Amino acid sequence: MKFSTRDARNLYFWLSDEFISRHSESDFGSLCSIHVVRSNNISIHHVSILGDFDTPNNDGIDIDSSNNTSIYSCNIDTGDDAICPKTNDGPVHNLTVSRCWIRTKSCGVKLGSASTSDFYGLRFNWINITESHRGIGLQLRDSGNIYDVIFSNFNIMTRYYDQSWWGRAEPIYVTSCPRSPATVVGSIYNLQRFTNYTGGLLDYRPGCQGLVDHQNSEIAPATIPESIEFVDFSLFYQTSLG
């Protein structure tokens, strides 16, 4: 199955139940290539997404307010966030992502920033993120919480492209800060870190109220976490790929 290059969203699920997409290829959608909204039991296996590497809002796979989702053995090459769970209209739980290859000018795996409900029961395993502007991002801006999430067996190589893209080549980025002065922001709790890596890049925390520059591109948690684990990571940073 191959999807049209002219559609803004190549494959869109809304209030769907028990759908399996296998051995598909999507080229150059102008917005999100696969968008799953308020759905249940969706499986996305052996799918290749070749997005426009120079176009913003060109997400790979967005899982929005959907549950019991499986993403397996997918290749995603795109300009914006590659795999992006979000909770605009309900929680995301029981999401499993494994054996995927990612390249992006934004974030490889990002939770948020749309986060009005909780993220929990998420498992990410055996993910290869290469030449990307940010590896893993946990970005709370609304009232939802992130907990019971495991990231394991990641290989992350970041690359800084330009300040116009999200990120500053951070392998792991964690923030919880309000979208507006009226927002009561949720929490990211129980973070366990098993990997060391170098920092030193500027990160301006886009989308936060009261932006503060800092010189730390490692993990910058806004809360003390619980049940979020980073296990067996290989992390690389290069100033140039030649």
What whole-number percentage of the chain has pLDDT above 70? 67
Q: Which domain holds residue 58?
A: 2-237
DSSP sequence for 163-212: TTSS-SSEEEEEEE--SSTT-----B--EEE---------B--TT-SS--
Query: What would the pLDDT profile of 133-176 be if each residue is shown by its tens digit?
Result: 999 999 999 999 999 888 888 888 888 888 888 788 888 888 88
pLDDT of residue 212: 43
pLDDT tens-digit series, residues 79-102: 999 999 999 999 999 999 999 999
The count of domains in the chain is 1
Query: What is the pLDDT at residue 237?
Result: 55
Higher pLDDT, 189 or 47: 47
Residue 19 vs residue 63, higher pLDDT: 63
For the chain, what is the mean pLDDT?
Answer: 78
CATH number of the domain enclosing 149: 2.160.20.10
Beta strands in the chain (DSSP E): 2-3, 11-14, 17-27, 34-37, 40-50, 61-64, 67-72, 75-78, 83-86, 92-104, 107-113, 119-132, 134-140, 146-158, 170-176, 191-193, 228-231, 234-237
Tokens of 234: 């290989």
As a whole number, mean pLDDT of residues 6-29 equals 64
Structural domain contains residue 202: yes
Whether residue 11 lies inside any domain: the answer is yes
pLDDT band at 194 (very low <50, low <70, confident <90, very high): very low
In a domain, 127, yes or no: yes
Query: Cβ–Cβ contacts within 10 Å for residue 179, how many?
Result: 18
Q: What mean pLDDT comes out for the span 102-114?
A: 95
More confident position, 51 or 86: 86
β-pair partners for 21: 44
Q: Considering the domain boundaries, does residue 242 fall inside one? A: no
More confident of the two residues 14 and 124: 124
Q: Is residue 114 part of a domain?
A: yes
